[in-house]
Amino acid sequence: MNRVVENFIRYIKIDTESDPDSTSCPSTAKQLDLARLLKQELINLGLSEVSLDKNGYVMATLPANTDQNIPVIGWVAHMDTSPDMSGANVNPQFVENYDGGDILLNQEDNIILSPHDFPDLKKYIGQTLITTDGKSLLGADDKAGIAEIMAAVEYLVNHPEIKHGTIKIGFTPDEEIGRGADLFDVEKFGADFAYTVDGGEIGELEYENFNAAGARIVVKGRSVHPGTAKNKMINAINIAMDIAGMLPPQQRPEHTDKREGFFHLAKFDGSIENATLFYIIREHDHEVFNWQKSLIQKAVDYANFKYGDGLVSLELKDQYYNMKEKILPVMHVVDTAKEALEDCGIEPKIIPVRGGTDGAMLSYKGLPCPNLFTGGHNAHGRFEFIPTNSMEKAVEVILKIIDLYSTKN
């Protein structure tokens, strides 16, 4: 088993699920279990300025080994896994020389990873895949990114004949709940620009993403026995359903793709007395994004007009913005990554992110930060898988980008 795969298997065994309902940073203490391991591994590799701060951010420096004037490049990945599904007791399965057919993940529950449902599997016939056992997510988002960065750093440490500038490493908590870059100290990090290694299939290179906001709508009702409820009961569930119906159904995630935005009802809790809706709002175009936010405000205002002033409240918060605006002035970071992909024999897939990465917020904090592939597929669920070849290629691309900046200066 090669180093990047060894790293990956070691990291996914550690449960790092984040918690959107927590107000601490990191949102779950168990993320620190991986953070402490990574800190020690970076120390063991001989890196300098290795730190783990109280908020769970790990940083380290691989000093330059040349006097050339080379930009300081950062490499960033996140430690947490999605709260959409458990990341505990991950039991990875290896499928060697994949034949293109169904993969039985769990015989007891008859859970099958099938190319009928996930056609991308057909791209990896003959390769080795790492899958789940059907009982948890895998954690390639983003422990594959961590494993790839660590493997690349170890390679540079073991091959000092490869000349490079100063390399900065950063591992963040809570990316999956939209807070990964909130307390990231860009000045301390000290990079001229960076790459998040947090994308999907092999070849992906992304420098534009959704603008994002979260909306929490709370409805207050009044419970009365239904037999005597006339002109007395206020059913919060019905009001919440009415609000949901005011938003355009064609702008739900299941009806959109590419650069089309959406309103996604991610969570609903309801009783007659109280109901809560949590929406995530996504859109690439900033003007349309502002329209979306105004529409959800109008829906709440109308519900208060219709059912009684003060029954419905709205908490609306921007989460991150489209990093394209911050990348365009330094497009060399994208052009160099594209060149590296091609030099490694990989077809670049330059696509917009239908989501967000730490790189979006970092770009707005002054650290331009496009996103590179990890090789993973079907993140956040039991059908997640990653080809080992894609992980190896990700390491190769990281090293090639570093080499290109060294040889161009």
- The closest of 130, 192, 184, 137 to 166, measured between CA atoms, is 192
| Percentage with pLDDT > 70 across the chain | 100
pLDDT band at residue 409 using 50, 70 and 90 as cut-offs: low
Average pLDDT over residues 256-283: 95
In a shared domain, residues 295 and 146 = no
Helix/strand/coil (H, E, C) string of the chain? CCHHHHHHHHHHCCCCECCCCCCCCCCCCCHHHHHHHHHHHHHHCCCEEEEECCCCCEEEEECCCCCCCCCCEEEEEECCECCCCCCCCCCCEEECCCCCCCEEEECCCCEEECCCCCHHHHHHCCCCEEECCCCCCCCHHHHHHHHHHHHHHHHHHHCCCCCCCCEEEEEECCHHHCCCCCCCCHHHHCCCEEEEECCCCCCEEECCECEEEEEEEEEECECCCHHHCCCCCECHHHHHHHHHHHCCHHHCHHHCCCCCCEEEEEEEEECCCEEEEEEEEEECCHHHHHHHHHHHHHHHHHHHHHHCCCCEEEEEEEEECCCHHHHHHHCHHHHHHHHHHHHCCCCCEECCECCCCHHHHHHHCCCCCCEECCCCECCCCCCCEEEHHHHHHHHHHHHHHHHHHHHCC
In a shared domain, residues 200 and 311 = no
In a shared domain, residues 179 and 281 = no
Give residue-wise pLDDT tens across range 25-48. 999 999 999 999 999 999 999 999
In a shared domain, residues 249 and 188 = no
CB-neighbour burial class of residue 148 (10 A; exposed 0-12, middle 13-18, buried 19+): buried
CA distance linking residue 158 with residue 153, whole number of Å: 9
- State the pLDDT at residue 375: 97
pLDDT band at residue 341 using 50, 70 and 90 as cut-offs: very high
In this predicted structure, the answer to whether residue 270 has a pLDDT above a threshold of 90 is yes
In a shared domain, residues 92 and 182 = yes
Active-site annotation holds for 108: no
Work out whether the CA dihedral 369, 371, 372, 378 comes out positive or negative: positive
CATH of the domain at 312: 3.30.70.360
- Last residue of one domain, picked from the residues 277, 293, 319: 319
Give residue-wise pLDDT tens across range 130-139. 999 999 999 9
Average pLDDT over residues 372-395: 97
CA distance linking residue 89 with residue 83, whole number of Å: 14
In a shared domain, residues 14 and 62 = yes
In this predicted structure, the answer to whether residue 15 has a pLDDT above a threshold of 90 is yes
In a shared domain, residues 97 and 68 = yes
CATH of the domain at 61: 3.40.630.10
- Last residue of one domain, picked from the residues 304, 319, 334: 319
Average pLDDT over residues 169-180: 93
Q: Which of 41, 80, 176, 198 is catalytic?
A: 80
Q: What is the mean pLDDT of the chain?
A: 95
Average pLDDT over residues 141-168: 97
Q: Crossing angle for the helix pair 3-12 and 140-158, nearest 10 degrees?
A: 140
Instruction: Measure CA 122 to chain center.
Output: 25
- The closest of 59, 76, 171 to 371, measured between CA atoms, is 76
Average pLDDT over residues 228-253: 96
Give residue-wise pLDDT tens across range 178-194. 889 999 999 999 999 99
In a shared domain, residues 186 and 240 = no
In a shared domain, residues 63 and 138 = yes
How many structural domains compose the chain? 2
Are the C-beta atoms of 190 and 73 separated by less than 8 Å? no
Are the C-beta atoms of 379 and 133 separated by less than 8 Å? no
- State the pLDDT at residue 28: 97
Quick one: tokens of 16?
């790092």
In this predicted structure, the answer to whether residue 226 has a pLDDT above a threshold of 90 is yes
- State the pLDDT at residue 258: 85
Q: Which of 154, 175, 176, 198 is catalytic?
A: 175
In a shared domain, residues 326 and 368 = yes
Measured between alpha carbons, how far apart are the two ends of the chain, in Å?
Answer: 36
In a shared domain, residues 125 and 41 = yes
Average pLDDT over residues 323-340: 96
Q: What angle do CA 105, 107, 113 make, to 5 degrees?
A: 30
pLDDT band at residue 5 using 50, 70 and 90 as cut-offs: very high
Active-site annotation holds for 175: yes
- Last residue of one domain, picked from the residues 266, 300, 319: 319
Give residue-wise pLDDT tens across range 74-98. 999 999 999 989 999 999 999 999 9
In this predicted structure, the answer to whether residue 118 has a pLDDT above a threshold of 70 is yes
Quick one: tokens of 205?
């290179």
pLDDT band at residue 1 using 50, 70 and 90 as cut-offs: low
Could you tell me the residue range of the domain that residue 267 belongs to? 211-319
Give residue-wise pLDDT tens across range 356-379. 778 889 999 999 999 999 999 999
Are the C-beta atoms of 400 and 344 separated by less than 8 Å? yes
Are the C-beta atoms of 294 and 314 separated by less than 8 Å? no
In a shared domain, residues 304 and 327 = no
In this predicted structure, the answer to whether residue 49 has a pLDDT above a threshold of 70 is yes
